[in-house]
Amino acid sequence: MSGAEKIAVRVTEVTPLNDLVTRFRFEPVDGGLLPTFSGGAHTVVEMQDGAITRLNPYSLMSDPFDQSAYTISVRRDDEGRGGSLFMHKSVSVGDEMVISNPVNLFSLDLRAKKHLMIAGGIGITPFLAQIKQLDRAHGNWELHYACRSQALGSYVDYLTDTHPNDVNVYYDDQDQAIDLENLTDRQPLGTHIYVCGPKGMINWVRAKSTDLGWPREAIHYEEFLAPQPGKPFEVKLAVSNKVIQVGEQESLLEAIERAGVDAPYLCRGGACGMCETRVIDYTGNFIHRDHWLEDDEHASGEKIMPCVSRFEGKTLVLDR
Amino acid sequence: MTLQFNDETFRDDYSFHNSERAIKRFPFPFDKDSYMYVVNMEQHRGGPSDSIYEMRFDVDEHYVSEMRDRAMVLADDPLRCQSLPHMTLAGWDLLELIMVSKSEDYPDLFQLHRDGDKWHWINKPLGIDDHFTFMDETTLPYGPMEYITRQTQGDFCVLDQRDDNLWMDAGTITTQADWSLDFDIGMNFFEWHAPVPLAHEKGIFVRALKFLLNIQQGAPARRLNWTMTVNPLLDTSPENYHKWGIQKTSLTPENIGAKQHLRVELQTFFRLPRSNALVFPIRCYLCAFQDIVSVPKWGRRLHRVIRDLPEELATYKGFIDNRPMMLDYLSKFDDGQDTSNGIWPELDSEPPLKT
Amino acid sequence: MSKFEFPPSIRSRPVYGTLEVRAGKHHLMIADAAGAEAILDVATPDLMAKTHIIYIPRGADFEDKLRALNPAQFYEGPSYAASVSRIQRVLQDASMGLQVYLTGTEGLMGQAQNEAMQAGIPHTAIQTEHRGSVARRMQCVHCKGITEDVETDPFVCSHCGLNLFVRDHYSRRLAAYQAVCIDAEDPGNVPAQKGIYATETEQ
């Protein structure tokens, strides 16, 4: 890891919202104040899962000005490597955990004349904090939120109760869909669009707004990739002169850390660029999954983002 | 540690002076006998006792007089302090950062009492005792950034972060090394650095930007930068260059030791939490050549650095015409002995000047 | 008329391109003088049916040719100052997706770009193509006065009278290059005037 000190917190509430999503409330162990943050920020939560340390990023959803506690919402991913399952099954009120200082890779453009927010499923969480920030500044915003069903619509009641005129909810199982064409075609100059949700939704919103002539700088999106399991592989770390094994259920970054080698990171989701690592030598194929490197960089075999990308082959030597 | 504040001027009769203590803690910027641009960033988390690195915002003997000089500059030209409309939140972030830091680091000089949004700020050296409501601009005599930077040494650039770049969207700039906030406001990182020679070609700014974009809350960074100024003039602005530029020609072999100042900037970088902006304080320290050479290591090294500096850099830093006279003066303090690495004076271990 | 090749310069100096048709339902084109030729080059009937042209001739005579393109709206203004309130009004009513095309002198493009940015369009999304005079709009860093159409370096500030040299450092917000006193360290020692691009074009 690198940079700021971590924050020791105690879990003070665990609140199941529906079949998939549970909310966790963290308060500082020392009884002091947590740092304020900006809407859209995330924290990296450390999980001691037996011998394995998992580090997963979650959007902060509480009021950015509330220094007494942070809250996050975790969607259970039964197919994933187990971070969300650990949170759901093994974390309970009273537990002590360690989280990072807030980092924002999805921040509001405060120049915007209007903020148009598009959320899908658990992608609602960063918007909950952004809405609190904007309400305090009397900001102009509008939310369009797509959920699978009423039963799985986390925070729908809260949002529609508090902001009946600015929140629009769409249920997939009722065949309701965001009318994106009309929505993006009638926004005043100076509007910024923000989308957080599944990859398909992000691509859809980016493509549609680009087709209608929206500038790149006015389109903001956040998708945290969870590292995917894969075949084990061996890596040589040239600087620290170590050979490490990357297991099926761990990421390359986690394996590097497990070997005691310091690798910088911010998001652990392929977006921030911090853990970019130079490839010194390889024989085999990369499985690049990040949003950070350009296509030609992926093809070059010169760089890898160890937080989400993997390797299949005989030799991989990294500049770490 | 008690601070005695100097009563001094940075214009007209130039009564500015450094005490013995101030000379010893001067941030001499050269860690070896040559200089070239590097991305020389390090964590800003304290430093040796009574060094300029010790506190988050260093307060020294020049504080009261520097603040008086800033007020004069702003009265003459209010455009030296500007904040684009979307930067007000960052201004509050900055006010909070400085008030909290100073009241914790210098409890005998500054006090902050908070009761929810009701804040009470006491600045003893400047005789300020104000009650205000945090986040309510109408309860302060100036905007939050201007209010607090009128009470804090150094220039302040407040940078908005978006589109993988930093934007100079607010600042208080009255002690600048010849750049204009009024002209540069709204520019991105590469644009406001555009006039700097050599560094673009070396990729310095690409790497520096990448570093700065990733500065995290609770993990500030710092570096030193430097230039030269004739007379201890803080306001070396382009706006007034037609007035102060002529002073560069006033050097003589007799007065150069007293008049020629090495001007060092302690640049720090803090992530601002509520706005996700970055604040970039640029704190200026001045030291006359005659005071620098009182430290043998610094005298030797300054001569070697100035002698070997590439011509483009001496031109950009504005002393190419005076370099021969500087070298004549400095060569008397360079006896050719080796110097130790690092910026610290090492008065106990470095040999005295051979005569 | 061939286009002027600006010599390579520092990162703050604007770089102009060649207008191209972009996706979008509404298009705004602002031009002065020879900039009309760039509009004529890019115009298609489809594009013109959704385009508002604002043209400031500055002595050139393109009105008939531009009108013959049948743009959705056309306005010929006597000066930039006379046209700016119309530009502001068009931007005020516009929606996201509006495409802005600027062409002609640097002064015209810079000032119109500033209006579009104020309205919320990022500068990188605004197309520009230089045509015609290479004269610069200069700001005196000392008195802040703007001197229009500067062709020589150094020049005399039309407001405070200082002798100024021409920098490539450019402010989008002011739509001007920076001009700095040339004889501050040696009053009266002012080099002979030459064209701003004189040395570069001779090379």
**Are A16 and A99 within one domain?**
yes
* Amino acid at site A203: N
CATH for the C27-130 domain, from 3.40.50.80, 3.40.50.300, 3.30.479.30, 2.60.40.10: 3.40.50.80
pLDDT interval class at C199 (50, 70, 90): low
Is A13 within 8 Å of chain C by CB? no
- The whole-number pLDDT of residue B251 equals 96
How far is the alpha carbon of B185 from chain A, nearest alpha carbon, in Å?
15
CA distance A165 to chain C (A): 21
Residue of C nearest to B187 (CA): C171
Backbone torsion region of residue B262, taken as left when φ is above 0, otherwise alpha when ψ lies between -120 and 50, otherwise beta: beta
pLDDT at B192: 96
Chain C residue with minimal CA distance to A215?
Answer: C125
Which residues 86-115 of chain C have a CB within 8 Å of chain A? Answer: 91-92, 94-99
Do A214 and A137 form a contact (C-beta atoms < 8 A)? no
Cβ contact (<8 Å) for C171 and B186? Answer: yes
Closest alpha carbon within chain C to A109: C120
Q: Which residues 58-77 of A are in CB contact (within 8 Å) with B?
A: 64-65
Cβ of C184 within 8 Å of Cβ of B194? The answer is: no
Q: Annotated active-site positions of B, please?
A: 223
Is it the case that residue C141 has pLDDT exceeding 80? yes
- B197 CA: distance to closest CA in chain C (Å): 9
Answer whether B86 sits within 8 Å of A111, measured CB to CB: yes
CB contact under 8 A, A103 and B217: yes
Mean pLDDT of C67-74: 98
Q: How far is the C-alpha of A98 from the C-alpha of A28, rounded, in Å?
A: 10
A84 and A39, same domain (yes or no) = yes
Contact at CB, C94 and A187, closer than 8 angstroms: no
Helix B323-331 with B296-308: angle, nearest 10 deg: 150
The pLDDT mean for chain C works out to 95
Candidates B87, B217, B274; nearest CB to A101: B217
Is A256 in the same domain as A191?
Answer: no
| CATH number for the domain harbouring residue A314 | 3.10.20.30
The reply to whether A59 falls in a domain is yes
**Could you say which of A213, A216, A217 has the minimum Cβ distance to residue C97?**
A213
In a shared domain, residues A310 and A238: yes
**Interface contact A98, partner B, CB < 8 A:** no
Q: Which residues of B lie closer than 8 Å to A, measured between beta carbons?
A: 84-87, 89, 135, 160-163, 210, 214, 216-219, 273-276
**Cβ-defined contact of A212 to C25 (cutoff 8 Å):** yes
Query: Are A270 and A307 contacting, i.e. CB atoms less than 8 angstroms apart?
Result: yes
Distance separating alpha carbons of residues A87 and A78, to the nearest angstrom: 12
Q: CB A65 to CB B89 under 8 A? A: no
CA-wise closest residue to A43 among A265, A280, A246: A265
Position A2 in a domain: no
> Cβ of B246 and C187 within 8 Å?
yes
Token pair belonging to C185: 């360290």
Residues of chain B with pLDDT under 70: 1, 39
User: Which chains have 3 or more CB–CB distances shorter than 8 Å to chain C?
Assistant: A, B
What average pLDDT does the segment C121-127 reach? 97
Please answer whether residues A43 and A57 qualify as being in contact, where contact means their C-beta atoms are separated by less than 8 angstroms. Answer: yes
Contact B286, B16 (CB under 8 A): yes
Cβ separation of A189 and C99 shorter than 8 Å? no
B344: closest CA of chain C, how far (Å) = 35
Kindly report, residue by residue over A255-292, the tens digit of the pLDDT.
998 899 988 887 788 877 888 999 999 999 999 988 78
Task: Give how far C114 is from chain B: nearest CA, Å.
Answer: 11
Contact C154, C147 (CB under 8 A): no
Tell me if chain B has a CB within 8 Å of the CB of C113: no
Q: Do the beta carbons of residue A2 and residue A30 sit within 8 Å?
A: no
Any residues with CB less than 8 A from the CB of C64 and at least 6 apart, and which?
none
Q: Under DSSP, is residue A71 helix (H, G, I), strand (E, B) or coil?
A: strand
Q: How far is CA B40 from CA A178, B31, B266, in A?
A: 50, 11, 12
Contacts of B216 in chain A (CB under 8 A): 3-4, 101, 103, 266
Match 């002076």 to its residue by tokens: B17
Residues A63 and A131 both lie in one domain: no
Residue located via tokens 């500044």 = A137
How big is the CA angle at C101 (ends C100 and C102), to the nearest 5 degrees? 120
CATH number of the structural domain spanning residue A65: 2.40.30.10
Taking CB atoms and an 8 Å limit, are C23 and A213 in contact across chains? yes
Residues of chain A with pLDDT under 70: 1-4, 224
Closest by Cα among A247, A233, A251 to A317: A233
> What is the β-pairing status of strands A103-104 and A114-120?
unpaired
A1, part of any domain: no
- Which residues of B make CB contacts under 8 Å with C? 79, 163, 180, 182-187, 190-195, 200, 238-246, 248-249, 321
On chain B, the residues whose CB falls within 8 A of the CB of A110 are 86-87, 89, 160, 275
What six digits make up the tokens of B3? 């601070």
Q: Is C192 on the interface with A (CB under 8 A)?
A: no
The answer to whether residue A268 sits within a structural domain is yes
Percent of chain C with pLDDT over 90: 96
Structure tokens at A174: 């009722």
What ipTM is given for this predicted complex?
0.94
Task: Write the pLDDT tens digit of every residue in A32-60.
Answer: 999 999 999 999 999 998 888 888 999 99
Q: Are A99 and A164 part of one and the same domain? A: no
Phi-psi region of A284 (alpha: psi -120 to 50; beta: other; left: phi over 0): left
Which of A227, A303, A230 has its CA nearest to residue A269? Answer: A227
Q: Which chain C residues are Cβ-neighbours of A210 within 8 angstroms?
A: 23
Q: Are C173 and B185 within 8 A, CB to CB?
A: yes
Distance of residue C20 Cα from the nearest chain B Cα, in angstroms: 24
Q: Is the Cβ–Cβ distance between B294 and B23 less than 8 Å?
A: yes
**Cβ–Cβ of C98/A213 closer than 8 Å?**
yes
Kindly state the helix (H) or strand (E) to which residue A283 belongs, with its residue range. Answer: strand A277-287
Q: How do the domains of chain C map onto residue ranges?
A: 27-130, 136-197
Residue A154 Cα, gap to closest chain C Cα (Å) = 31
**How many other CB atoms sit within 10 Å of the CB of residue B122?**
15
Q: Give the C-alpha distances (Å, rounded to integers) separating C20 from C103, C128, C131, C134.
A: 12, 10, 15, 22
Is cis: bond before C122, omega within 30 of 0? no
Question: Best mutation site among C96, C113, C124 for testing chain A: the one with the most A CBs within 10 Å?
Answer: C96
Both A69 and A153 in a single domain?
no
Neighbour subunits, A (≥3 Cβ pairs < 8 A): B, C
Instruction: Spell out which residues of chain C touch residue B241, defining contact as CB-CB under 8 Å.
Output: 141-142, 180-181, 184
Please count the CA atoms within 13 angstroms of the CA of A63 that sit on its side-chain side.
8
Locate B163 and state its tokens. Answer: 């589109």
Which of A115, A140, A185, A189 to mutate to probe the C interface, most C CBs <10 Å? A189
For C185, the closest of B193, B200, B248 (CB atoms) is B248
Same structural domain for residues A56 and A124?
no
Strand bridging mode A52-59 / A41-49: antiparallel
The verdict on a CB contact (< 8 Å) between C95 and A211 is: no
pLDDT band at C200 (very low <50, low <70, confident <90, very high): very low
Q: Which of A187, A217, A218 sits opposite C95 (nearest CB)?
A: A187
Rounded Cα distance between B250 and C144, Å, is 28
Q: Is residue A137 domain-resident? A: yes
- In terms of residue numbers, what domain contains A27? 7-104
User: With 0-12 CB in 10 A as exposed, 13-18 as middle and 19+ as buried, what is C10?
Assistant: middle
Q: Residue C202 pLDDT > 80, yes or no? A: no
Q: Which residue of C has its CA nearest to B163?
A: C122
Provide the CATH number for the domain around residue A173.
Answer: 3.40.50.80
